[in-house]
Amino acid sequence: MAPEAAAIPLLTPYKMGNFILSHRVVLAPLTRQRSYNNVPQPHAILYYSQRTSKGGLLIAEATGVSDTAQGYPQTPGIWTKEQVDAWKPIVDAVHAKGGIFFCQIWHVGRVSNSGYQPNGQAPISCTDKGLAPVIRANGVDVAQFTPPRRLRTDEIPQVVNDFRVAARNAIEAGFDGVEIHGAHGYLLDQFMKDQVNDRTDEYGGSLVNRCRFPLEVVKAVSDEIGPERVGIRLSPFANYCESGDSNPEELGLYMANALNKYGILYCHMVEPRMKTVGERVESPHSLVPMRKAFNGTFMVAGGYDRKEGNNAVVENRADLVAYGRWFLANPDLPKRFELHAPLNNYNRETFYVSDPVVGYTDYPFLDGSF
Ligand SMILES: Cc1cc2nc3c(=O)[nH]c(=O)nc-3n(C[C@H](O)[C@H](O)[C@H](O)COP(=O)(O)O)c2cc1C
């Protein structure tokens, strides 16, 4: 049998707009907290290039759009020239190996505290409702949140503009496009979800109003860099950071349809079964209605292994499958899927440590090299 005929569904080529992907195994956006002072570091060159394959799509970790966007230690930004310049060699390294690289642009909104904010001010959100403290991913530290300040209606265009400028900066840094982070309880999701959004202006109340700000961001970013370079990540079913919705199907479907108007490249949705970022539960819900509604490339993520990824492609539930933890621990994940080789296990304890090597670039390739 010819090798092409033998290729598993995940390793078949796919044309995503103007990008010719050689396979469908995508690096999911993964915060690694190794960008000291919010500046991407040289060690990210090795990390991302290890995970690059020719014609493979990578999505960079969540990257702040402004000085109010941060809520975690050592996460990268893309609002200063220093940050843009620091991304360049990282992007170049991915391109040198034939990868396609999108930057996930991010604002945490209320998932922050005054220690991360300019002049110690309160974080911004759609609401002034605060978050209860939570145990950090290391199981020891407790994250404390400062009650947010509700954005005034007339301040919203400035935040939309921050996303626009960040997208332009990402292109300036050499990225092939951006993924707008509209998932996981961060700023855009805070506006969309009725459990959080308690506004009474045109950005709150009805579903149309709650989706207005995220869609203004989509429009501004698309106008700036072209819709053919724009993706968005959504998690309508998730309730991370106290960000749930009473009718997630309706929300997901409304967004999928509304996005068609802007003709953006892809919609990336997190599976309903992902109860928290790292915990999978059974769910009766499905992303299939949104997949059917959205006209562009549809990407799924959350709890996928090789078999389920293949099934999703074969059953036409997705064009692309993003892998988080398995790709974090297996720099050559597409190759391992091709060979049906065993996978390195991931170590949660080093997901977010600031070490430039440990838990970052020291997961071996199949042949034992790095
Ligand atoms: C260490 C870690 C960091 C993450 N950082 C981000 C992030 O920056 N942006 C994002 O949208 N999701 C983030 N996620 C969620 C992943 O992209 C992915 O959706 C999740 O891990 C579920 O997929 P998986 O089962 O393949 O790991 C993160 C997950 C992990 C484990």
pLDDT by residue (tens digit) across 55-111?
999 999 999 999 999 999 999 999 999 999 999 999 999 999 999 999 999 999 999
CA separation for the pair 287, 4 (Å, rounded): 29
Query: Span 11-16, mean pLDDT?
Result: 98
Stated pTM of the model: 0.97
Which among 47, 186, 266, 323 is annotated as catalytic? 186
Cβ(25) – ligand 1 distance below 6 Å? no
Structure letter (DSSP) for residue 287: S
Predicted confidence (pLDDT) at residue 136 exceeds the cutoff of 80:
no
For range 170-199, the mean pLDDT: 98
- Asked whether residue 1 carries a pLDDT value surpassing 50, the answer given is no
Mean pLDDT of the chain: 96
Partnered with residue 100 across adjacent β-strands are 57
HEC profile for 234-277?
ECCCCCHHHCCCCCHHHHHHHHHHHHHCCCCCEEEEECCCEEEC
Mutate to test the pocket of ligand 1, among 10, 25, 26, 31 (most ligand atoms within 8 A of CB): 31
pLDDT in tens, 299-318: 999 999 999 999 999 999 99
Tell me the pLDDT band of 227, cut-offs 50, 70 and 90.
very high
104 lines ligand 1 (CB under 6 A): yes
Q: What is the pLDDT of residue 5?
A: 55
- The token pair at 201 is 């202006």
